[in-house]
Chains A and B, each alone.
Chain A
Protein backbone atom coordinates (compact mmCIF):
# COMPACT_ATOMS: atom_id res chain seq x y z
CA UNK A 1 0.00 0.00 0.00
CA UNK A 2 1.07 3.53 -0.73
CA UNK A 3 1.82 5.43 2.42
CA UNK A 4 2.01 9.19 2.70
CA UNK A 5 2.95 10.20 6.22
CA UNK A 6 2.51 13.63 7.68
CA UNK A 7 4.58 13.94 10.81
CA UNK A 8 2.32 16.31 12.75
CA UNK A 9 -1.43 15.69 12.98
CA UNK A 10 -2.32 18.61 15.24
CA UNK A 11 -0.38 21.82 15.78
CA UNK A 12 -1.10 25.08 17.57
CA UNK A 13 1.20 27.97 16.69
CA UNK A 14 1.33 31.65 17.48
CA UNK A 15 0.98 34.43 14.94
CA UNK A 16 4.35 35.24 13.42
CA UNK A 17 5.93 31.86 14.16
CA UNK A 18 7.70 29.90 11.45
CA UNK A 19 5.94 26.59 10.89
CA UNK A 20 7.23 23.46 9.19
CA UNK A 21 4.91 20.69 7.99
CA UNK A 22 6.76 17.55 6.97
CA UNK A 23 5.63 14.82 4.60
CA UNK A 24 7.21 11.55 3.53
CA UNK A 25 6.04 9.05 0.91
CA UNK A 26 7.32 5.51 0.51
CA UNK A 27 6.35 4.68 -3.09
CA UNK A 28 9.14 6.43 -5.00
CA UNK A 29 6.61 8.84 -6.52
CA UNK A 30 7.96 11.63 -8.68
CA UNK A 31 5.25 14.12 -7.80
CA UNK A 32 4.37 15.55 -4.42
CA UNK A 33 1.72 18.09 -3.51
CA UNK A 34 0.52 20.28 -0.66
CA UNK A 35 -3.17 21.09 -0.50
CA UNK A 36 -5.19 23.16 1.87
CA UNK A 37 -8.70 22.04 2.80
CA UNK A 38 -11.33 24.46 4.10
CA UNK A 39 -15.08 23.83 4.49
CA UNK A 40 -17.00 24.59 1.32
CA UNK A 41 -13.84 25.29 -0.68
CA UNK A 42 -12.71 21.77 -1.41
CA UNK A 43 -9.02 21.06 -1.88
CA UNK A 44 -6.86 23.90 -3.08
CA UNK A 45 -3.34 23.34 -4.35
CA UNK A 46 -0.64 25.36 -2.62
CA UNK A 47 2.53 23.99 -4.26
CA UNK A 48 3.65 20.88 -6.07
CA UNK A 49 6.96 19.34 -6.98
CA UNK A 50 7.67 17.00 -9.89
CA UNK A 51 11.28 16.27 -8.99
CA UNK A 52 13.88 16.84 -6.31
CA UNK A 53 14.60 20.55 -5.81
CA UNK A 54 11.84 21.43 -8.31
CA UNK A 55 8.69 23.26 -7.27
CA UNK A 56 5.77 24.96 -8.93
CA UNK A 57 3.17 27.29 -7.49
CA UNK A 58 -0.37 26.07 -7.23
CA UNK A 59 -3.50 28.15 -6.87
CA UNK A 60 -2.82 29.69 -3.44
CA UNK A 61 0.96 29.92 -2.86
CA UNK A 62 0.97 33.27 -1.05
CA UNK A 63 2.36 33.02 2.46
CA UNK A 64 3.84 29.55 1.86
CA UNK A 65 7.07 28.06 0.59
CA UNK A 66 8.20 24.46 0.07
CA UNK A 67 11.33 22.39 0.09
CA UNK A 68 12.14 19.09 -1.59
CA UNK A 69 15.70 18.03 -0.92
CA UNK A 70 15.00 14.30 -1.22
CA UNK A 71 12.58 12.46 -3.49
CA UNK A 72 10.55 11.02 -0.65
CA UNK A 73 10.22 14.18 1.43
CA UNK A 74 8.28 17.40 0.80
CA UNK A 75 8.03 20.16 3.37
CA UNK A 76 5.59 23.04 3.59
CA UNK A 77 6.85 26.17 5.31
CA UNK A 78 4.83 29.04 6.69
CA UNK A 79 7.45 31.78 7.10
CA UNK A 80 5.28 33.88 9.43
CA UNK A 81 2.06 32.17 10.40
CA UNK A 82 -1.15 34.18 10.40
CA UNK A 83 -4.61 33.37 11.73
CA UNK A 84 -6.02 33.04 8.20
CA UNK A 85 -3.69 30.09 7.69
CA UNK A 86 -5.61 28.07 10.28
CA UNK A 87 -6.69 25.07 8.23
CA UNK A 88 -6.25 21.40 7.42
CA UNK A 89 -3.17 20.74 5.27
CA UNK A 90 -2.95 17.64 3.11
CA UNK A 91 0.20 16.24 1.57
CA UNK A 92 -0.12 13.96 -1.44
CA UNK A 93 1.98 12.15 -4.01
CA UNK A 94 1.64 10.46 -7.39
CA UNK A 95 3.67 8.88 -10.13
CA UNK A 96 4.59 11.05 -13.09
CA UNK A 97 2.73 10.52 -16.34
CA UNK A 98 -0.80 11.24 -17.47
CA UNK A 99 -3.77 10.78 -15.22
CA UNK A 100 -2.13 9.07 -12.28
CA UNK A 101 -3.89 8.68 -8.97
CA UNK A 102 -3.04 11.13 -6.23
CA UNK A 103 -2.53 9.53 -2.81
CA UNK A 104 -3.16 11.62 0.28
CA UNK A 105 -1.76 11.65 3.78
CA UNK A 106 -3.96 11.84 6.86
CA UNK A 107 -3.74 15.62 7.12
CA UNK A 108 -2.28 18.14 9.53
CA UNK A 109 -4.64 20.37 11.48
CA UNK A 110 -2.96 23.73 12.06
CA UNK A 111 -4.39 26.35 14.39
CA UNK A 112 -2.73 29.76 14.47
CA UNK A 113 -3.62 31.86 17.52
Chain B
Protein backbone atom coordinates (compact mmCIF):
# COMPACT_ATOMS: atom_id res chain seq x y z
CA UNK B 1 0.00 0.00 0.00
CA UNK B 2 0.91 3.64 -0.02
CA UNK B 3 3.47 4.79 2.48
CA UNK B 4 5.62 7.75 3.49
CA UNK B 5 9.15 7.18 4.69
CA UNK B 6 10.74 9.83 6.88
CA UNK B 7 14.42 10.22 7.81
CA UNK B 8 16.12 10.59 10.14
CA UNK B 9 14.12 9.35 13.10
CA UNK B 10 16.23 11.44 15.47
CA UNK B 11 18.23 14.56 14.70
CA UNK B 12 20.43 16.55 17.07
CA UNK B 13 21.85 19.93 16.05
CA UNK B 14 23.60 22.82 17.71
CA UNK B 15 21.65 26.03 18.15
CA UNK B 16 22.09 28.18 15.07
CA UNK B 17 22.79 25.27 12.73
CA UNK B 18 20.39 24.07 10.03
CA UNK B 19 18.23 20.96 10.23
CA UNK B 20 16.93 18.95 7.28
CA UNK B 21 14.28 16.25 7.40
CA UNK B 22 13.54 14.18 4.31
CA UNK B 23 10.49 12.23 3.22
CA UNK B 24 9.67 10.02 0.28
CA UNK B 25 6.21 8.92 -0.78
CA UNK B 26 4.97 6.09 -2.92
CA UNK B 27 1.61 7.26 -4.29
CA UNK B 28 2.22 9.30 -7.43
CA UNK B 29 -1.29 10.75 -7.09
CA UNK B 30 -0.27 12.63 -3.93
CA UNK B 31 -0.72 16.35 -4.45
CA UNK B 32 -0.59 17.98 -1.01
CA UNK B 33 2.31 17.75 1.43
CA UNK B 34 1.90 19.25 4.91
CA UNK B 35 4.44 19.31 7.71
CA UNK B 36 3.41 19.19 11.35
CA UNK B 37 5.27 20.04 14.56
CA UNK B 38 4.32 18.27 17.76
CA UNK B 39 5.56 19.67 21.04
CA UNK B 40 5.63 17.59 24.17
CA UNK B 41 2.15 16.84 25.47
CA UNK B 42 0.39 18.56 22.58
CA UNK B 43 -1.26 17.62 19.33
CA UNK B 44 0.50 18.14 15.97
CA UNK B 45 0.24 21.62 14.49
CA UNK B 46 0.66 22.53 10.83
CA UNK B 47 3.80 24.59 10.26
CA UNK B 48 4.07 24.66 6.46
CA UNK B 49 2.60 22.90 3.46
CA UNK B 50 3.27 22.62 -0.25
CA UNK B 51 1.15 21.59 -3.19
CA UNK B 52 2.25 19.63 -6.21
CA UNK B 53 2.31 22.59 -8.56
CA UNK B 54 5.00 24.31 -6.48
CA UNK B 55 8.65 23.28 -6.08
CA UNK B 56 9.59 25.30 -3.03
CA UNK B 57 7.93 27.35 -0.33
CA UNK B 58 9.48 29.41 2.44
CA UNK B 59 8.14 30.95 5.63
CA UNK B 60 10.76 32.79 7.67
CA UNK B 61 13.20 30.15 8.97
CA UNK B 62 11.43 27.15 7.54
CA UNK B 63 11.24 26.00 3.94
CA UNK B 64 9.92 22.97 2.14
CA UNK B 65 11.06 21.60 -1.21
CA UNK B 66 9.27 19.11 -3.42
CA UNK B 67 10.64 16.92 -6.20
CA UNK B 68 7.62 15.20 -7.75
CA UNK B 69 9.70 13.21 -10.21
CA UNK B 70 11.69 11.60 -7.43
CA UNK B 71 8.74 11.63 -5.00
CA UNK B 72 10.85 13.42 -2.40
CA UNK B 73 10.04 16.37 -0.19
CA UNK B 74 12.10 17.95 2.55
CA UNK B 75 11.79 20.34 5.46
CA UNK B 76 14.61 22.80 6.07
CA UNK B 77 14.94 24.76 9.30
CA UNK B 78 17.65 27.42 9.38
CA UNK B 79 19.13 29.16 12.41
CA UNK B 80 17.64 26.59 14.74
CA UNK B 81 16.58 27.62 18.24
CA UNK B 82 15.89 25.52 21.35
CA UNK B 83 12.16 26.06 20.87
CA UNK B 84 12.40 24.21 17.55
CA UNK B 85 12.94 21.02 19.58
CA UNK B 86 9.91 18.83 18.87
CA UNK B 87 8.71 15.90 16.79
CA UNK B 88 8.12 16.73 13.14
CA UNK B 89 5.81 14.75 10.86
CA UNK B 90 5.62 14.89 7.11
CA UNK B 91 2.51 13.75 5.28
CA UNK B 92 1.30 13.13 1.74
CA UNK B 93 -2.31 13.54 0.75
CA UNK B 94 -4.44 12.60 -2.23
CA UNK B 95 -8.08 13.08 -3.02
CA UNK B 96 -10.51 15.11 -1.07
CA UNK B 97 -10.71 16.21 2.53
CA UNK B 98 -7.47 14.59 3.61
CA UNK B 99 -9.01 11.11 3.63
CA UNK B 100 -5.90 9.61 2.17
CA UNK B 101 -3.34 11.48 4.21
CA UNK B 102 -0.42 9.23 5.01
CA UNK B 103 1.96 10.35 7.75
CA UNK B 104 5.64 9.64 8.15
CA UNK B 105 6.84 8.04 11.37
CA UNK B 106 8.19 11.32 12.70
CA UNK B 107 11.57 12.93 13.41
CA UNK B 108 12.54 13.93 16.92
CA UNK B 109 14.61 17.10 16.65
CA UNK B 110 16.84 18.20 19.52
CA UNK B 111 18.39 21.67 19.36
CA UNK B 112 21.22 22.01 21.85
CA UNK B 113 21.82 25.46 23.32
Contacts and interface: CB of A to CB of B under 8 A. Distances in A.
Q: Do A and B bind each other?
A: yes
Interface string B52-81: 000000000000000000000000000000
Contacts of A92: 43
Contacts of A99: 31-32, 51, 93, 98
Nearest to A106: B43
B97 A96 contact: yes
Contacts of B106: 40, 42
How big is chain A's contact interface, by range? 20 to 34
Nearest to A45: B101
Nearest to A59: B1
B104 A104 contact: no
How big is chain B's contact interface, by range? 20 to 34
B105 A98 contact: no
Given A40-B9, A42-B106, A43-B103, A100 B44 contact: no
A64 interface: no
B62 to A, nearest CB: 16
Nearest to B4: A42
Interface in B11-45: 31-32, 34, 36, 41-45
A101 B46 contact: yes
Given A42-B105, A43-B89, A101 B97 contact: no
B66 to A, nearest CB: 13
Which of A33, A101, A107: most chain B CB closer than 10 A? Answer: A101
Given A90-B43, A105-B43, A42 B97 contact: no
Interface string A6-49: 00000000000000000000000011010000001111010010
B87 to A, nearest CB: 10
B41 to A, nearest CB: 8
9 contacts: A40-B105, A40-B106, A42-B6, A42-B103, A43-B89, A45-B101, A99-B98, A104-B36, A106-B43
